[in-house]
């Protein structure tokens, strides 16, 4: 693989990163706030490729250059990750990952006042943090709406889960909320649900890491399409 071939590969990689950053595809890899960095990275790669081609065309050939050894052909295998990025849309992490990792509930930096409205849409992370660390003080007498995917443990307990990201999908961890009340009798794991319900003081402990898992008292549950961004960020 000579310099020009490397430059072409670099430009294709930059184009793929730009494509991912300009569509919802990037949400399968990193959290939403990193879109500008994805776009910037794609632009830098393309500029570097153009600069490499320009330099190669301007450079005068020398005897030493004419005897320069090419890179081994196995280096073309570097094209495979590029094709994977272009052709394969990785699935979002699901209940299999969620139920094999302990619930992750970082201590929040305070609890801002909740806006008016009923039902009140909250992130799974926000509800769980208020239920565990604030003992539900801001959730009393409020009808709450949560969206997540279903997971069921070996005892039949149903959980609503969202995977949270600190940076990218590689560091994703689940936040789990147990469902009680009017839980639909037949549910399939990985079904996305929109839950409407109220705070309950019921909690359990995740056997994987002893993390606290709060519950919500379900009043209504309906299947929904998976959101374009299946993850929740830490900020």
Structure confidence by residue, pLDDT tens digits, 67-99: 555 556 666 666 776 776 666 667 778 898 889
Nearest Cα to 220, choosing from 129, 146, 124, 162? 146
- For residue 189, count CB atoms less than 10 angstroms from its CB and return exposed for 0-12, middle for 13-18, buried for 19 or more: middle
Q: What is the pLDDT of residue 36?
A: 87
**CA–CA separation, 93 vs 34, rounded Å?**
19
- The answer, yes or no, to whether residue 61 has pLDDT greater than 70, is no
Indicate if the pLDDT at residue 149 is higher than 80: yes
CA angle 157, 163, 165 (to 5 degrees): 155
Would you state the pLDDT for residue 213?
97
User: Which of 29-38, 59-68, 159-168 is modeled with the greatest confidence?
Assistant: 159-168
Average pLDDT rounded to a whole number, residues 135-147: 94
Tell me: pLDDT of 136 over 70: yes
Residues 142-152: what's their mean pLDDT? 96
What value does the mean pLDDT of the chain take? 85
pTM of the full structure: 0.73
pLDDT computed for residue 206 by the predictor? 95
- Count of beta carbons in the 10 Å neighbourhood of residue 92: 18
Confidence of residue 129 (pLDDT cuts 50, 70, 90): very high
Q: Where in the chain is the domain with CATH 2.40.50.140?
A: 95-233
Q: Are 195 and 216 in contact (CB under 8 A)?
A: yes
* pLDDT surpassing 80 at residue 235: no
Spell out the alpha helix ranges (H) of 115-206: 124-133
CATH of 95-233 among 2.40.40.20, 3.40.630.30, 2.40.50.140, 3.40.50.2000: 2.40.50.140
DSSP state of 166: S
Other CB atoms within 10 A of residue 143 CB: 15
For residue range 156-165, what is the model confidence (pLDDT) as tens digits?
999 999 999 8
Q: Which residues contact 28 (CB under 8 A, 6 or more apart)?
A: 89, 90, 91, 92, 169
Encoded tokens for 46:
């393309």
Does position 131 have pLDDT exceeding 50, yes or no? yes
User: Is 4 a residue whose pLDDT tops 90?
Assistant: no
Q: Residue 63's pLDDT band (boundaries 50, 70, 90)?
A: very low
Two structure tokens written together for 118: 């009923």
How buried is residue 104: exposed, middle or buried, by Cβ count under 10 Å (0-12/13-18/19+)? buried
Least confident of 15-19, 35-39, 75-79, 197-201: 75-79
**Is there a contact between 98 and 174 (Cβ–Cβ < 8 Å)?**
yes
């Amino acid at each position: 693989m000579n310099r020009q071939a490397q430059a072409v590969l670099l430009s294709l990689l930059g184009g793929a990163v730009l494509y991912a950053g300009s569509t919802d595809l990037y949400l399968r890899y990193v959290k939403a706030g990193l879109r500008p960095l994805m776009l910037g990275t794609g632009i830098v790669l393309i500029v570097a490729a153009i600069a490499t081609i320009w330099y190669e065309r301007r450079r005068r050939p020398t005897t030493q250059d004419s005897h320069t050894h090419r890179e081994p052909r196995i280096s073309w295998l570097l094209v495979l990750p590029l094709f994977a990025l272009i052709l394969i849309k990785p699935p979002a992490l699901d209940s299999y990952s969620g139920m094999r990792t302990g619930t992750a509930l970082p201590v929040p930096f305070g609890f801002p006042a909740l806006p008016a409205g009923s039902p009140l849409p909250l992130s799974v992370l926000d509800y769980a943090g208020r239920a565990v660390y604030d003992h539900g003080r801001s959730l009393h007498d409020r009808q709450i709406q949560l969206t997540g995917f279903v997971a069921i443990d070996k005892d039949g307990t149903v959980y609503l889960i969202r995977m949270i990201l600190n940076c990218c999908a590689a560091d994703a961890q689940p936040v789990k909320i147990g469902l009680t009340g009017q839980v639909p009798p037949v549910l399939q794991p990985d079904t996305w649900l929109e839950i409407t319900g109220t705070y309950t003081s019921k909690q359990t402990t995740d056997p994987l890491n002893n993390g606290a898992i709060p519950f919500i008292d379900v009043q209504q549950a309906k299947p929904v399409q998976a959101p374009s961004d299946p993850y929740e960020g830490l900020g």
